[in-house]
Amino acid sequence: MHTLPLHPLLQTVVDRAFFTHNETPHTYRVLPSVYTVLGFQFSGRIHHAGENRPLATCGVTGILDAWRPFRSDAATRSLLVFFKPGGFYRVFGPVAAALGSDSLALDDVFSASLEREFADILNAPAPFAENWARLQNRLLQIMARDISFETRGALHHLEKAGGALRVEAIADKLGISRRTLERKFAAEVGTTPKHLARILRWNRIMTNLGDYADLATAALAHGYFDQAHFIHDTQRFGGESPAHLAASY
């Protein structure tokens, strides 16, 4: 996996980008994160192992609601672009809301002509670094909107609290109703503020788990009602017990 350089202006919407190359078949699990992922496959195929179907060669995966198994063929070469919450909306518009947690072809949520344009850029007979720079410039050209005050404020409060904040409290801080916040947030981020909060909180506790003597103490310190709720989230998001998952997290 090779980390790619990001254009400074694109860093406002993209967290990171990778070029991956697997020589042998590989099965792996992807855990929920706050990112919407745009993917391009140059060779080989990546498959949704749980549904036994190949992903589109140019596709996008929304913010997952549970862990998901994937399988890559031998000699699979891919580009993965991780959009920050609200970042996909800023570039591609309201289609972010249609994603949910699905993995879809880009032309399912946007125009087929844009998918062909991206493919032409990345498959041009030039060094990959030049093609990657051209793709970034094209993304900047179509980035023509911003997220709302409500969504920006909610993301700020959620990230600051590590997800340990109720939606009602966020709405009160912003001076709006919960319904208004949820509607704007879902349209621009692609999931609900409650679900994003769960992911942020779970990732934070998994990162800090080794700092606590037991699961119950860690759970309470990160805003969980009790240990059972934390274990439930871990089974859903990671597919394993906290103890097993923490060793490789």
pLDDT given at position 100? 86
Q: Global pTM?
A: 0.94
pLDDT of 124 strictly over 90: yes
Measured between alpha carbons, how far is 78 from 38 in angstroms, rounded to an integer? Answer: 10
Domains by residue range for the chain, with CATH: 2-142 (2.60.120), 149-246 (1.10.10.60)
Cβ-contact 181, 167 below 8 angstroms: yes
pLDDT given at position 97? 77
The radius of gyration of the chain's CA atoms, rounded to the nearest angstrom, is 19
Three-state DSSP state, 165? coil
Per-residue tokens: 27: 């099965």
Measured between alpha carbons, how far is 158 from 166 in angstroms, rounded to an integer? Answer: 9
pLDDT of 201 strictly over 90: yes
pLDDT given at position 249? 67
pLDDT given at position 14? 98
> What is the full DSSP assignment across 19-47?
EEEESS-EEEEE---S-EEEEEEEES-EE
> Over the stretch 179-196, which tens digit does the pLDDT of each residue have?
999 999 999 999 999 999
- Among 90-94, 139-143, 159-163, the least confident range: 90-94
Three-state DSSP state, 167? helix
Higher-pLDDT residue of 164, 246? 164
> Over the stretch 84-113, which tens digit does the pLDDT of each residue have?
999 999 999 887 778 889 999 988 888 789
Strands 53-54 and 2-3: unpaired
pLDDT of 59 strictly over 80: yes
Query: How distant, in Å, are the alpha carbons of 14, 20, 157, 214, 230 from that of 219?
Result: 30, 35, 20, 9, 6
pLDDT given at position 79? 97
Query: Which residue type is seen at 45?
Result: R
Residue with tokens 């699961």: 215
Measured between alpha carbons, how far is 114 from 107 in angstroms, rounded to an integer? Answer: 8
